[in-house]
Amino acid sequence: MNPENIVLISFGQFEAAFLLSIAREVKREFHHPVRIREGHLDLSEHYDAVRGQYNANSLLKAVDQMHRPEHTKTFGLFQVDLFIPILTFIFGQAFLNGRSGIASLYRFRSERYGMKSNEDALLERFTKEVIHELGHTFGLVHCYFPGCVMQSSTYIEDIDQKNAGLCAQCREKLNPG
């Protein structure tokens, strides 16, 4: 197997075309071959009944354990509502300069905010979030450059306003020289 692989592991029902589209964008942004795999986890172990949400810290650890030395990064794709103890929700998280990350499309659905369902917007938002979290695994921190995918986003409106790509400065940090 190519040692430069980024592995995207899907947990739950994702359409193949949806995953391929994300993989294409990730490859374009990080210039690494991307592989898609289907993963299996007992999500109930990560469910917090009091909050009615899934613990992102324990899910990230579970995905991290699936990492293989032959992979560059391992990334989990989810469809459930993620939280960390201190925050009401999160879109995704990753180990800064680490080997794994996770993201969920749960909070990217327009219908959650009283709008019409929009599959294109859902794909675009989720793709940006996956690239953002993978950026953290490559050591990038939040960027203040308008439009950069590494800008911190806490609402879907923030995500809609930024691009799916890195700004020149973040790209330089990623590939110095």
Partner 1 sequence: MKKISILVVDDEESVRDSLYNWFLEDGYHVECAESAKKALLILESMNFDIILADIKMPGMDGLEMLRRIKALKKESIVIVITAFATVDTAVQALKDGAFDYVTKPFDPDDLSHLIRNAAKQIMLTEENEMLKEKVISLENLEDLIGVSEPMQQVLREVQSVAQTNSSVIISGESGTGKELIAKVIHSNSPRKFFPFVIVHCGALSESLLESELFGHEKGAFTGAMYNRKGRFEMADNGTIFLDEISTISPKMQVELLRVLQSKSFVKVGGNKEISSDFRVICATNTDLKTMVDEGKFREDLFYRLNVVNIHLPPLRDRTGDIPLLVDHFIRKYASAMNKPMVSIEPSALQKLQEFRFPGNIRELENMIERAIVIGNGKKITLRDLPITKDIPGLATESLDDLEKNHIQQILVKYSWNISRSAKALNVDRVTLYNKIRKYDLKP
Among 141, 147, 172, 175, binds partner 1 (CB under 8 A): 141
Nearest-10 Cα torsion for 155, 156, 162, 164? 130
Mention every residue, 6+ apart, whose C-beta is less than 8 A from residue 139.
Answer: 96, 97, 173, 174
Rounded least distance, CB 76 to partner 1, Å: 15
Q: Is 95 in the site for partner 1 (CB under 8 A)?
A: yes
Residues binding partner 1: number (CB under 8 A) = 20
Q: Is 174 in the site for partner 1 (CB under 8 A)?
A: no
Our CA angle for 175, 154, 78, nearest 5°, is 75
Q: Of these residues, 15, 29, 133, 157, which one is catalytic?
A: 133
Among 27, 28, 45, 155, binds partner 1 (CB under 8 A): 155
Which residue's CB is nearer to partner 1, number 10 or number 53?
A: 53
Rounded least distance, CB 136 to partner 1, Å: 5
For this structure, is 4 an active site residue? no
Question: Cα–Cα distance between 20 and 31 in angstroms, integer?
Answer: 15
Q: Which of residues 44-83 bind partner 1 (CB under 8 A)?
A: 51, 57, 83
Which residue's CB is nearer to partner 1, number 43 or number 84?
A: 84
Q: What is the DSSP string of 60-114?
A: HHHHHHT--TTEEEEEEEE-S-EEETTEEEESEEE-TTSSEEEEESGGG-GGGGT
Q: Is 142 in the site for partner 1 (CB under 8 A)?
A: yes
CB 172 within 8 A of CB 157: no
Question: Cα–Cα distance between 64 and 45 in angstroms, integer?
Answer: 16
Strand partners, 5: 71
Which residue's CB is nearer to partner 1, number 13 or number 88?
A: 88
Point out which residues bind partner 1 (CB under 8 A): 51, 57, 83-90, 93-96, 136, 141-142, 152, 154-155
